[in-house]
Amino acid sequence: MKYKYKYLNIETPGREDVEKLTPNPANKELLQHLKDEKVETWLDRYEAQQPQCKFGMRGVCCQRCLMGPCFISGKRKRGICGLDENGIVMGNLLRALAAGASAHGSHAREAAELLLHTARGETDYSLKGKEIVRETAEKLGLKEKNTEKAAEKVALLFLEDLSRIGEKTMRVLQAYAPKERKEKWKELGILPRSPYHEAFEALHMTTLGGNTDWRNLAFQDLRLSLAYCWGSIYISNLATEMVFGLPKVRTGEVNYGILKEENLNIILHGHSPILVEKIVEKAKSREFKKRAREAGAKNVQLGGVCCTGHELLARHGVPSLGNILGQELIVGTGAVDAMIVDTQCVIPGLKIVADCYGTKIITTSNKNRIPGAVHLPHNHMEINSLAQKALEEALRAYRERDRSNIFIPAHKTKVMSGFSREAIIEGFGGIEELCSALKDGSVKGIVTLVSCSSAKLPYELNQVTIAREMVKRGFLVTTTGCCGHALVSAGLCDTAAAELAPEKMKNLLREKSLPPVLVTGACVDNTRTHRLFIEISKELDIPVPELPFFYSAPEPANEKAIGAGMSFATLGVSVHQGFPPGVPVPIPTPKKGASDPDDMDANRSPVIDFFAEELRGLVGAQVIAEPYPELAAGYMHLRMHFKRKALGWK
Ligand code: XCC
């Protein structure tokens, strides 16, 4: 690969590497097309940034106070204030986690408010997930027979959990977490109060003159991760399921080929289903289709990007087109008339490409404004009218823009989607059967393969390689988020992909008509796999850390990804990160004065040792970084193999 970062012992791709290695042929064609058209994309900007700052890459750059930036090197052991490398690295990680927890917390608050207002009959929705309302209320110990009233109580409790400041921990955590884990977290002193509280504390602890004990910061990292998990993503997932219902397993097609030149193409992008659910309903109506035909379109085609793409694929079978790095390529087809975006992962480069093709960008949240975009800020009380306005804007875009420069790669991929936790269990014939499959080795273990796409790696290659490797080795894979888009487009979420699996697993998947990679939704739906792990552990009466599970994020990019991984680590599921998220990577060097060249100093970093080793003693899981996918797959296999052996499983 083109760029070599010796101090990280890592090579990163150049444009030619990405063009050659990225697995989806449609992405290859679009990258080439946009290069020919001289349209700037993330790939151009990534190349322009090379080589990237070696201090930033190792996480040893500190910009926390106004005397900085300071960085640590062989000669400069401390920043101006006196903070050392470990304090800087751990503090940077904690601050990134706090940012991710705030993004997910804000999403959770919107979802809980939607639930509250819907339960009170104040929105344009009614509760579709009535069984989830009843189940959640019961779990939370809320005695209320009336579904709407129960939902209202649940929503208020969620909002309280988000901002709880008293000594007691969150109610969702108390109700859903396994007893063994709660005792462990209590013993470690990491039971959180709430995401608001712990994010506050994390930022406070890392201001100038704050905490200099990096280990204490590491414990705050664990505490905030628990708040992130139980106080944000659990709330978003549950509230969304209560309002919009559980997804349904269905088959369909995804990838750029679903776009048609003759259609009005509207793409929905972001993370919140609040407005887009109504947009989908209205866009599918006869009336809107008629108006699109009158405007000259043959039909209306919807598509999804990032987590909104997953929500829509799971609930409505709306084809997903791509992920965070795919958004520019999608618009680069020239076929998109309007892209409606809400919050998170809408990159600024999107508007640059959109302007080249006259694509209208419509923003719907005050948390995400883009200069030059049409802005229609949503609120819970005006969903109908705002959805209508957004569609009117899309129609206008269709009529007004120059549609002569369209390039659509003809690739389509089959997918089976919509796997909730419930659907996975049902798909295997019940929790007992799923557990027997694990015990008898038909399924060797479960890996959840998730997270973003990063320009630092050959786009989508590592995600697809790890998924294929794990399936070949007999492991079931669940997936969400941007990684989910890569795996879906690679055809791994189609039943035909069962062919890759070893005989026993292949036969089981065939019998159950399941694909080896189950796409479970958006990143907040990582909770579905999280709860699946808890349920398997309960059924088998074996603590989670002893079971053959793994979490892997081959291409972490967003700060939100840190909390996602740590949510699993605190549960006792080990974590693989494909690219070290700003931690110094130790490179063994020959010992000074040693005559034997194999006599090496490991140059280990205390922060790395904490995550890779000490954490195992604390929560029963480790966090490791490995950018090379085959090595990562081999390592995960080995660790899970030892767990199976310890359990006496074949
Ligand atoms: Fe990461 Fe969530 Fe964003 Fe994709 S979309 S870049 S956070 S994987 Ni959710």
> How far does residue 481's CA lie from ligand 1's centre (Å)?
5
Block means of pLDDT (10 residues each) for the chain, 650 residues, are 87 96 97 97 97 92 95 92 95 97 97 98 97 97 96 98 90 97 98 97 96 96 98 98 97 96 98 96 98 97 97 96 97 98 96 97 96 93 95 97 96 98 98 98 98 96 98 98 98 98 98 98 98 98 98 96 97 94 70 76 82 95 93 97 96
Backbone angles phi, psi at 597, to 5 degrees: -65, -20
Q: What is the dihedral of CA 607, 611, 617, 621, to 10 degrees?
A: 180
Cα 269 to ligand 1 centroid, rounded to whole Å: 11
Q: Does the Cβ of 323 fall within 6 Å of ligand 1?
A: yes
Q: Confirm or reject: Cβ of 558 under 6 Å from ligand 1.
A: yes
Ligand 1 close to Cβ of residue 305 (< 6 A): no
Of all helices (H) and strands (E), which one includes residue 471? helix 461-472
pLDDT of residue 593: 81
**Calpha distance 441→227 (Å, rounded):** 35
Query: Which is the closest atom of ligand 1 to the Cα of 560?
Result: 7
Handedness of CA 26, 32, 33, 34 (dihedral sign): positive
**In this structure, how many other beta carbons lie within 10 angstroms of the beta carbon of residue 195?**
32
H or E element that contains 274: helix 273-283
User: What burial class does residue 631 get, using C-beta atoms within 10 Å of its C-beta: 0-12 exposed, 13-18 middle, 19+ buried?
Assistant: exposed
| pLDDT at residue 168, as a whole number | 86
Report pLDDT for 490. 98
pLDDT number for residue 585: 66
Which position has the token pair 């939902």? Answer: 151
* 322 in contact with ligand 1, CB cutoff 6 A: no
Res 423: pLDDT: 98
Taking the C-alpha atoms of residue 345 and residue 482, their distance in angstroms, rounded to an integer, is 10
Does 557 contact ligand 1 (Cβ within 6 A)? yes
Atom of ligand 1 nearest to the CA of 450: 8
Residue of 42, 323, 347 to mutate, ligand 1, most atoms within 8 A of C-beta: 323
Summary mean pLDDT of the chain: 95
CB of 99 closer than 6 A to ligand 1?
A: no
Distances (CA, A) of 428 to 256, 523, 530, 549, 614: 32, 23, 17, 17, 36
The CA 558 to ligand 1 mean position distance, Å, reads: 7
> Does residue 307's CB lie within 6 angstroms of at least one atom of ligand 1?
yes
**Residue minimizing CA distance to atom 7 of ligand 1:** 558
HEC per residue, 366-411: CCCCCCCCEECCCCCCCHHHHHHHHHHHHHHHHHHCCCCCCCCCCC
User: For position 9, what pLDDT does the model report?
Assistant: 80
**560 Cβ inside 6 Å of ligand 1:** yes
Q: Return the residue whose CA atom lies nearest to atom 5 of ligand 1.
A: 306
* Euclidean distance between CA atoms 19 and 7, whole angstroms: 26
Whose CA is closest to 550, among 628, 460, 642? 642
* Nearest partner of 409 among 332, 487, 340, 320, judged by Cα: 332
Question: How confident is the model over 224-243, as pLDDT tens digits?
Answer: 999 999 999 999 999 999 99
| Domains in the chain with CATH codes | 3-58 (no CATH), 85-244 (1.20.1270.30), 250-400 (3.40.50.2030), 419-647 (3.40.50.2030)
How many whole angstroms from its chain centre is CA 395?
A: 32
In the reported structure, the alpha carbon of residue 306 is separated from the centroid of ligand 1 by a whole-number distance in angstroms of 6
Q: Which ligand 1 atom minimizes the distance to the CA of 345?
A: 3
